[in-house]
Amino acid sequence: MIIRGSSVSGDLKLRTQDLVIGSGPGGSTVAMLLAKAGRQVIVLEEGSFVPAEEMTQREGQMMGRLFSEGGTRTTEDKGVTILHGQVIGGTSVVNHLICFRTPDRLLELWAAEGIDDLDPAAMKLRFDRIWEILNVARIDESQLNRNNTLLMDGAKKLGWKGHPFDRNANSCLGSGFCTIGCAYNAKQSAALTMLPLAGQYGARVHADCRVTRILHDGSRVTGVEGVVLGADRRPKAKLFVEADRVIVAGGAILTPTLLLRSGVPDESKMIGQNLYLHPGSPVIGHFPGMNVDPTVGILQGYGISEFSWPLNGHPIDVLPEGVSGPPGVASVVVPGLGAAHRDGMRQINEAAIAGVLLRDHHPGHIELRDDGRPLVHYTLHPEDAERMREGSKKTIEAYFAAGASRCMTGHTVPTEVRSVTELNRLDSASYAPGSIALISYHQMGTARMGGDAKKHATNPDGRLWGLKNLYVADASLFPTASGVNPQISVYGMAMRVGERLAASS
């Protein structure tokens, strides 16, 4: 049962053994495991409960209901748009369902930070369980829309490695509205999988509850305080929860924000540091006379793994993926301003769109604004920019191999290439803030896990080093950027944390 803020009358005062803040893949998984172990569990989610029947497939309506800050959050220099869900189920409600088991290279890299029980054999058992709960299956090539097929055709002609994605879907209709929630309950988000399981085991879930501060005495957490939000998203009542243990799973932007706002002990000074945004940048291939229509069907279905370090050991370390969204969302990646952008949108039905996903090597950080909200400091490092440039060139090569007449990158000043012999035109293109579209759907690393209290914010159990009963269970734990879509990595890391918490109860 999910309790909405609109149903609460008067201040909300609760008591529980385990309090989970956040209902996305991390929070829902920990809640499920702890409730199954017989613990009293409460889940608090700042976002609303939005069931399928309330998902209108209207971008103007749903962006504000499903995304933190309505999808308008950016880095301080406005160079990167940051998208993450704020709704029951978290970002799993608004993602494109891509499921990658954490690659072995990455697990080995993270284990070297002093994290035990992260070997491929141990994680496989967890991933197998997650696969079953989320109903994950590989897309057949016949299910790909033309947008993804063109990227695949180009990669095959060039002899590059790539494959259709695994997705957590049940009877997907290919409506093309994944970005703003699935009105058909085909997307097997945390709201439809882990959270209902947690509820079956006795967990209580409260929507519309904004935690403003974690209460502690410098060594132990005693609970949290905050506000209950009404239907108009304004505070309507005070919130107090007393808890034996608190697990924060608000995502790599809001988790460190809450920790910093609460003044928790941090010997490492790493809370809010080590921010990886996994930025993606668009490449568009034009296929005159072909009805590509990238905004319909399975939006994100194929990736070129040839140039990925986690998947293929390649130093460019990018993952080009076929991707699009509803027309309004797709318009964000069409380059140009004014008439140039208008003309690009008029030609979108003949355009194939890919996102070049960069495994960034140089992190940013988060600090608090005066009002306690996050201020995200991140500028694409020159070395990362060069690898993004090379990844864009490779994606353009794939489109030309598939028959494109011309290709464009996501630069504000349109940068057009009409053959592979013109790829050097990208060499002078700027990657400075505001000069190219960069979008972050995957944030990670801001409470990095590891075995050294002076280098890591959390220990190998996910516990804050300075407090005996405060834990983190989301992508904040990642020591580095993942380089692949991180949904399953979040579920897997949270399952590892939840297992240890359940065993220590």
- Three-state DSSP at 134 gives helix
Q: By CB neighbour count within 10 A (0-12 exposed, 13-18 middle, 19+ buried), where does 472 fall?
A: buried
Helix, strand, coil percent content, the chain, rounded in steps of 5? 30, 25, 45
Dihedrals φ, ψ of 175, to 5°?
-70, -25
Tokens coding 294:
């990238």
- C-beta separation of 44 from 491 below 8 A: no
Distance CA 446, CA 432 (A): 24
Taking only Cα atoms into account, the Rg of the chain, rounded to an integer number of angstroms, comes to 22
Alpha helices in 112-185 (DSSP H): 120-134, 146-158
Active site residue 442: yes
DSSP strand E in 230-383: where?
235-248, 280-286, 302-304, 318-322, 351-358, 365-368, 374-377
Which position among 84, 278, 411, 442 bears the catalytic label? 442
468 DSSP assignment: T
Dihedrals φ, ψ of 325, to 5°?
-170, 180
Residue 385 CA, chain-centre distance (Å), reads: 21
- C-beta separation of 457 from 447 below 8 A: yes
Please write down the long-range contacts of 111-116, taking CB distance under 8 Å and 24 or more positions apart: 113/448, 113/449, 113/450, 113/451, 113/452, 113/456, 113/479, 114/450, 114/451, 114/452, 114/456, 114/460, 115/449, 115/450, 115/451, 115/460, 115/479, 116/460
Distance CA 229, CA 416 (A): 48
**Annotated catalytic sites, by residue?**
442
